[in-house]
Amino acid sequence: MLNPIGLISMQVARPFTPEHFAWFAKIKALGYDFIELLVPEPEDLDLAETRKAIEGSGLGVVLAARVSMQRNITSDDPAARATGLAYLKSAAAASAALGARILGGPLYGNPLVFAGRPPAPVSEDLRLRRIEWCVSALREAGAAAAEHGVTLAVEPLNRFETDFVSTTRQGIELIDLVGHANVRLMLDTFHMHMEDASLAEAIQVAGPRIAHFQANENHRGFVGTGSTDWVAVARALHAAGYEGPISLEPFRRDDQRIGIPVAQWRPPHEDESPKLRDSAALLRGVLAMGAHRL
């Protein structure tokens, strides 16, 4: 069976509010099976209404968590760790309320560039304590998620977005330390491109730990407009037995003006529907072929 293919809500709007509900049907019509929704802040969305709108469109849903230095189970500030753990639990409850079974993202916290924080050396003592804090909180959050029938999918981020888990190997080590069936791994090819030697080898090594997957180009644009060997990625996912969701986040805009901050999220400035449709179709094509031999 082929993996469900989804689209991140940030593709359309941020924050995503009820005025954007009409997008659910459009996304479905473009060939997507689910929406990956940022965990709604209370002021953005009513969960019951949102669930109704998503289900009405025929889409499934996956949730994406947003952490910060104050919502941070890896922090050396106990208050930030407590806030981070409470957030993961409430996000798992929100996932269940929305009908999602997967809550993904850099759940460990410790953002860098988007928190305006430069990379800095970490003492060995602090490094080890961070791991303890993170593992302990992920176990507790995983148990809470399990009660909701939700799986936490921990995503490594590139070296500029976090200083805690960047490579697939680091992600595997963390998941294995946690050792809870509801705490698994999420891989994003954009980050893998910057941190792993080979996408296919990393997928193979991660194997059954993978609970969620994001297919993004090396430059985070539309699948099929960059250098990624999607055939190799699809073949590796098939070899790993991965049948879970795959979502796209092509929210880099086609804008090459000098002085435009590429990493700054911007709303679309043109109709991107054809590229959205063709990216999903490309991915379905390589995934289908990934199951065949010559």
204 binds its own copies (CB under 8 A): no
Q: Are strands 5-8 and 246-248 parallel, antiparallel or unpaired?
A: parallel
Q: What is each CA distance from 266 to 135, 137, 197, in whole angstroms?
A: 34, 33, 30
Q: Of the candidates 97, 146, 194, 205, which one interacts with its own copies according to CB under 8 A?
A: 194
Q: Of the candidates 85, 174, 211, 236, which one interacts with its own copies according to CB under 8 A?
A: 174
Q: Is 201 an active-site residue?
A: no
Record the tokens describing residue 72, joined without a space.
Answer: 């941070």
143 binds its own copies (CB under 8 A): no
Q: Which stretch binds its own copies (CB under 8 A): 9-17, 30-38, 164-172, 273-281?
A: 164-172
170 binds its own copies (CB under 8 A): yes
Catalytic residue (choose from 36, 195, 249, 272): 249
Q: Of the candidates 20, 159, 253, 284, which one interacts with its own copies according to CB under 8 A?
A: 159
Identify the burial level of 118 via C-beta atoms within 10 angstroms of its C-beta, where 0-12 means exposed, 13-18 middle and 19 or more buried.
Answer: exposed
198 binds its own copies (CB under 8 A): yes
Record the tokens describing residue 170, joined without a space.
Answer: 């680091």
Minimal distance in Å, beta carbon 94 to its own copies?
26
Q: Is 272 an active-site residue?
A: no
Q: Are strands 102-105 and 151-154 parallel, antiparallel or unpaired?
A: parallel
Beta bridge partners of 64: 38, 104
Record the tokens describing residue 82, joined without a space.
Answer: 């407590």
Residues 218-237: x where in contact with its own copies by CB under 8 A, - otherwise, as a string = xx-x---xxx----------
256 binds its own copies (CB under 8 A): yes
125 binds its own copies (CB under 8 A): no
Total residues contacting its own copies by CB under 8 A comes to: 52
114 binds its own copies (CB under 8 A): yes
271 binds its own copies (CB under 8 A): no
Residues lying near its own copies in the complex (CB under 8 A): 74, 112-122, 127-128, 130-131, 158-161, 163-167, 169-170, 173-174, 193-199, 218-219, 221, 225-227, 256-264, 266
Which residues carry out catalysis?
155, 249
